[in-house]
Amino acid sequence: MRDSFDIKQWIENPDELLVIAGPCSVESREQLLNTATKLSELHRVKILRGGIWKPRTRPNGFEGIGEEGLSWMKEISEETGMPCMTEVATPEHAELALKYGIDALWIGARTVANPFSVQHLADALRGTDIPIFIKNPIAADLKLWIGAFERLSSSGLRHLVAIHRGFQDTNAAPFRNNPRWELPIELHRQNADIPIITDISHICGCRDILQKTAQKALDLATNGLMIESHCEPEKALTDAEQQITPDDLKSMLDNLIIHKSKSTNANVLLQELRSRIDSIDDELLNLLAQRSEISSKIGIVKKEHNLTVLQLDRWNSILSNHIEKGKAIGLNENLVKDIFELIHKDSIDRQL
């Protein structure tokens, strides 16, 4: 048995990029042993993942190996020195995972979508301090995601981590699940002490965009990556299109640019740039306030002269002029359009 990685310590101080890898599903002792042995040889993977109970969209597919797989997981995890984690969706799963000494649990996107299920899990886990990783719910609902943290935290669980796995969306292409990066960023803004792991496998759904997506997650300061890895991905019983071999995982990790979280020189520079941004934002706010005041005056004139609030010709020409002007100075067309639509809406509201 090798020295094992301390998950709780990492959660308290998540400075180093955490890599979690392993198969989508535990399929057999041999498959898990082959995969985990190769993953441990990379010396980069700190936690072994593997699904024991699989939430499948339709019945009669492979629904997970069940309880038997927990004993393989524990044995192989100890052998390879990588603590292990699995998905739990019901109190029964949680009790079994605890019984077999699984080191950490994750709650899947479908389960997080249902507050009753999350509460049942929180009740079942009360009194333990096992680390819990909470995936984002299927729908892009930040409150529901935060609600799951609140439920577990109310049960006394102190070691909680978020997993960003993207959101179901008919316009997700080229992704399987739309990453909507602004949501984990907002989660972080509201709860800076919760580390965030990016599950690039479920975001991408295929192998060819994994590298680019991993780099993007790193550029956006993710605390870690979860990647599905299988010794023979094409034979995998679940998520075969998105799993990669441990060798491919190695080359992916070797090619990532990992940023330093702390750098004094960079901090000085960033502070200076941020203070310039702050004063530009102040100016923007003042200008917006002045603009709104003029809008209100226009509203009074329109009322006095019995004119409609919405003057479509004027609005169309404002929008197209601004988009053209914006383009000429390097601003994105959609940005200018979105901003002026909001400003115009506010202006209309003030005049009604």
Is residue 109 within the footprint of ligand PEP (CB under 6 A)? yes
Among 19, 24, 160, 162, binds Mn ion (CB under 5 A): 24
Integer Cα distance of 30 and 58 in angstroms: 27
User: Which partner from the list ligand PEP, Mn ion, none does 91 bind, CB cut-off 5 to 8 Å by kind?
Assistant: none
User: Dihedrals φ, ψ of 257, to 5°?
Assistant: -90, 110
Among 137, 195, 239, 347, binds Mn ion (CB under 5 A): 239
Tokens of 20: 């979690």
User: Which is closer to ligand PEP, CB of 12 or CB of 92?
Assistant: 92
Integer Cα distance of 243 and 279 in angstroms: 47
Among 14, 22, 83, 108, binds ligand PEP (CB under 6 A): 108
175-204 mask for Mn ion (x: CB under 5 A)? Answer: ------------------------------
Measured over the CA atoms of residue 35, residue 40, residue 43 and residue 47, the dihedral's sign is positive
Applying CB under 5 A, the site for Mn ion has a residue count of: 2
Integer Cα distance of 152 and 148 in angstroms: 6
Nearest alpha carbon to residue 141 among 121, 114, 123? 114
- 2-10, 22-30, 41-49, 80-88 -> range binding Mn ion (CB under 5 A): 22-30
CB 183 within 8 A of CB 140: yes
Integer Cα distance of 75 and 278 in angstroms: 54
Q: Tell me which DSSP letter residue 305 carries.
A: T
User: Which partner from the list Mn ion, ligand PEP, none does 135 bind, CB cut-off 5 to 8 Å by kind?
Assistant: ligand PEP
39-68 mask for ligand PEP (x: CB under 6 A)? Answer: ------------x---x-------------
Coil/strand/helix, residue 224: strand
Q: Which residue is nearest to ligand PEP (CB)?
A: 108
Tokens of 42: 């990379």
C-beta of 63: minimal distance to ligand PEP in Å? Answer: 12
CB 109 within 8 A of CB 141: no
Residues in the chain: 352
In sequence order, what are the residues at sequence separation of 6 or more whose Cβ sits closer than 8 angstroms to the Cβ of residue 234?
A: 240
C-beta of 24: minimal distance to ligand PEP in Å? Answer: 5
- 95-103, 114-122, 140-148, 232-240 -> range binding Mn ion (CB under 5 A): 232-240
Residues 153-182 that bind ligand PEP (CB under 6 A): 165
User: Which is closer to Mn ion, CB of 163 or CB of 253?
Assistant: 163
Coil/strand/helix, residue 167: strand
- 106-114, 126-134, 186-194, 249-257 -> range binding ligand PEP (CB under 6 A): 106-114
User: Which is closer to Mn ion, CB of 103 or CB of 239?
Assistant: 239
Q: What radius of gyration do the chain's Cα atoms show?
A: 25
Which chain residues interact with ligand PEP by CB under 6 A?
A: 24, 51, 55, 108-110, 135, 165, 199, 202
Interacting residues toward Mn ion by CB under 5 A: 24, 239
